[in-house]
């Protein structure tokens, strides 16, 4: 898969994981790296980009006597996911068209 496409897919996976509920970085890393390769360093860079784009917000909460940073999907993040699904719905229809051509050709 093209590197730019992988970066986009990683970002979408982070947002989709946050859509399921507030999560801390290690949770996000486990979920996304099960689908696409993602290092811890790349995760934190990606989280910063998503925060700057205001697709995620962050807050700290006490967990077993320590502060843990959590990430929450914002309204802008939900809109971005919806746009992604619309765009990829079109892509899936194109893929189906190509696949049908191969089967009939």
What mean pLDDT, rounded, does the chain reach?
93
Alpha-carbon dihedral 4, 7, 11, 13, rounded to 10 degrees: 110
**Sequence spans of domains, the chain:** 3-104
Query: In which band, very low, low, confident or very high, does the pLDDT at 105 lie, cut at 50, 70 and 90?
Result: low
The model's pTM is 0.85
* 32 in Cβ contact with 12 (< 8 Å): no
d(CA 13, CA 3): 15
Alpha helices, DSSP H, located in 1-105: 3-19, 25-33, 40-52, 75-104
* Strand-by-strand arrangement of the 23-24 sheet: 23-24, 66-73, 56-63
Asked: is 3-104 a CATH 1.10.10.10 domain? The reply is yes
For 68-91, write each residue's pLDDT tens digit.
Answer: 999 999 999 999 999 999 988 888
Q: Give residue 51's pLDDT.
A: 98
User: At 11, is the pLDDT very low, low, confident or very high (cuts 50, 70, 90)?
Assistant: very high
């Amino acid at each position: 898969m093209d590197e730019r496409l992988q970066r986009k897919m990683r970002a979408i996976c982070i947002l989709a994981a946050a859509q399921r509920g507030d999560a801390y970085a290690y949770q996000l890393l486990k979920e996304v790296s099960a689908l696409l390769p993602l290092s811890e360093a790349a995760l934190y860079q990606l989280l910063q980009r998503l925060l700057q784009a205001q697709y995620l917000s962050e807050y700290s909460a006490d967990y077993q006597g320590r502060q843990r940073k959590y990430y929450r999907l914002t309204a802008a993040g939900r809109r971005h996911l919806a746009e992604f699904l619309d765009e990829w719905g079109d892509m899936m229809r194109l893929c189906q068209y190509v696949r049908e051509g191969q089967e009939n050709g």
